[in-house]
Amino acid sequence: MKIALIPGDGIGPEIIDAAVKVLNAVGRFEYETCCAGGAAIDRFGDPLPESELSRMKRCDAVLMGALGGPKWDSLPGNKRPEAGLLRLRKGLGVFANLRPVKIYEALKEASPLKTVDGVDFIIVRELIGGIYFGRRTEGDESACDTMEYSAQEVKRINEVACRLARARRKSVTSVDKANVLASSRLWRKQTEAFYAAHPDITLNHLYVDNAAMQLILNPKQFDVIVTENMFGDILSDEASVLTGSIGMLPSASVGHPGEIALYEPIHGSAPDIAGKGIANPIATILSAALMLRFSFEMEKEAAAVEAAVEAVLNKGVRTVDLGGGADALGTEAVTEAILKEIG
């Protein structure tokens, strides 16, 4: 099995290195190191050269660190690292972003909220449609971004949400803004039609503003949340606060079953701590575990990695972002602790 590695920018190379060590502890893989984001701008003048995308497509899965940083903020929008990320998602055809949100008992006190007991849900975000990919105009006096969805796009993202819900607690919450947006009214209509054919799944609807509030007031109510691109981007970052640190949350971006998928932590490149050896590698390591599960069907190995992470947290291993203070461990020490648990 061949994995395309995108170290990316900032702390990306450090956390990718940690994830590779963990992958090598549970299996045998080939690696192809590829370039995207700011690093690709510096090297090629393009945040995602077609040659790099072609190399990734010849692999079985893609594992990415983080892209972007203030160094490239002055570039035009279509030349920035984020533009490369959008093109990467579109180029790979990964239309569903999966972001599991689980509270570890050992980290419960790290959460700023008191409502996190028993929280275990997953956000399914439509990834290659909506306002980020719609028609746009841009000028000095006015600009326009268009949110557009087709019935087929809504159906295929709900197919992913339905499969996940059926393996969990069989509950889906669809998030939209159907009281205001035409695209959301289509979203709700097509979502209701889809689940009418899947009566074993309980479907609920929430407006996005209420969903944002409910994530704080009562996050335990959620099992699977499905929503469009921009709403999912915002809500999943909000949900990361529940865990105590954005450095804990992995993600998987998948397409149709059996096709190439992209795995990455949800956090950014943190250029302020790059090279200091203190970045939390856990989100990237857990992203690698999702890759083992979804792309390679290595459930035993994925579970072993996840159990090792939970074990080191239970033993008090903490990075700076988890409140480690003077006793905080660095990237390498946390990785070695996880490797020791894996055995």
Residue 233 annotated in active site: yes
Task: Tell me how far apart the alpha carbons of residues 86 and 131 are, in angstroms, rounded to a whole number.
Answer: 12
Q: State how far Cα 197 lies from the chain centre.
A: 29
Sign of CA dihedral 155, 157, 160, 165: negative
- Where do runs of H (alpha helix) occur along 150-207? 151-166, 182-196
Residue 237 annotated in active site: yes
Residue 176 annotated in active site: no
Residue 104 annotated in active site: no
Of 9, 149, 176, 177, which one is the catalytic site residue?
177
Beta strands in 61-164 (DSSP E): 61-66, 96-102, 120-126, 136-138, 143-145
**Helix (H) / strand (E) containing 308:** helix 299-314
Cβ pair 99, 122 in contact under 8 A: yes
Dump the DSSP string for 222-289: -SEEEE-HHHHHHHHHHHHGGGT-GGG-EEEEE-STTS--EEEESS---TTTTTTT----HHHHHHHH
Residue 132 annotated in active site: yes
Of 73, 117, 209, 272, which one is the catalytic site residue?
209
> For the chain, what percentages of helix, strand and coil (3-state, to nearest 5) are there?
50, 20, 35
C-beta contacts of 144-150 below 8 A and 24+ residues apart = 147/181, 147/183, 147/228, 147/230, 148/183, 149/183, 149/186, 149/187, 149/228
Residue 209: Cβ within 10 Å count: 12
Catalytic residue positions, numbered: 132, 177, 209, 233, 237
